[in-house]
Amino acid sequence: MIHGKTYQYILEGIEKKGALFFLLLDPDKTSADKIDDLITHIESADVDALLIGGSLILDSDFNDFVKTIKSKTKIPVVIFPGGVEQVSPYADAILFLSIISGRNPENLIGKHVIAAPLIKRINLEPISTAYILVESGKTTTAEFLSNSKPIPRHKPDLAAAHALAAEYLGMKLIYLEAGSGAELSVPEEMIYVVSKMCSVPIIVGGGIRSPEVARKKVEAGAKIIVVGNHFDNHENFSELEKFTSAVHYKLNRLSEV
């Protein structure tokens, strides 16, 4: 199977480090005067990739934001789109998301038909990603805007069946999402069951606020950890290295030898 450059980078990174840490940047929540400081912390902490996107972009120019971030770092920049308008030629790749936990056809194929020609025209690498919303204690923006119900958090087998179907459909990543600012993160039991059922990398995001919690998700089977809201507060930038160290377990083992 032929993989794109960014997806191949992800696979090789997982093989080398055990799991990867992605930082999610919301253009509306990332202060322009803090970007240089943030990039300094990102590069020194060995963050593996930057995800850029938001359920709603109200105050920022998405394309300009991606261009600015990409001009300041060589770390891969991947779009995590909240809508078809969140596409930019300055990114390295885009998660081509299909919300398979819901039954809304617009989020299974409808919006993809609109976005696909643009993605091809600007030569942006698409990474097909099965997006599974997981019950997190409150209604999230993604759940509300997509008009789709999340998987109940006490139903890991249901999540695993959805994930396996997505893998059989040819999707390259499975994203278990509790939602931005979630009260409860994705349960470790669900991550474990999904990871045992599927052979493609599992991404876990939403409600992860400490390195210890991130490590538990990795131990359960997550291959990529995504954290966003916690780092909207620039005072937390200094914690980035603790998160990446918790996630990069293979590197930690080598350093202990």
As a dihedral over the C-alpha atoms of residue 191, residue 202, residue 115, residue 53, rounded to 10 degrees, the angle is: 80
pTM score, two decimals? 0.95
Q: Which CATH architecture has domain 5-256?
A: Alpha-Beta Barrel (3.20)
What does the angle CA 29 – CA 43 – CA 238 come to, to the nearest 5 degrees?
A: 60
At 225 the three-state DSSP class reads: strand
Q: Identify the pLDDT of residue 207.
A: 94
Q: How far apart are CA 57 and CA 69, in angstroms?
A: 16
With contact defined as beta carbons under 8 Å apart, do 207 and 26 qualify? Answer: no
Residue-level pLDDT, tens digit, the chain, 257 residues? 457 999 999 999 999 999 999 999 999 889 888 899 999 999 999 999 999 998 877 767 999 999 999 999 999 999 999 989 999 999 999 999 999 999 999 999 999 999 999 999 999 999 999 999 999 988 888 888 888 899 999 999 999 999 999 999 999 999 999 998 789 999 999 999 999 999 999 999 999 999 999 999 999 999 999 999 899 888 899 999 999 999 999 887 645 53
Q: How far apart are CA 231 and CA 69, in angstroms?
A: 16
At 181 the three-state DSSP class reads: coil
Q: Tokens for 50, please give them.
A: 């930057």
Q: Identify the pLDDT of residue 141.
A: 86
Domain boundaries, the chain: 5-256
At 66 the three-state DSSP class reads: helix
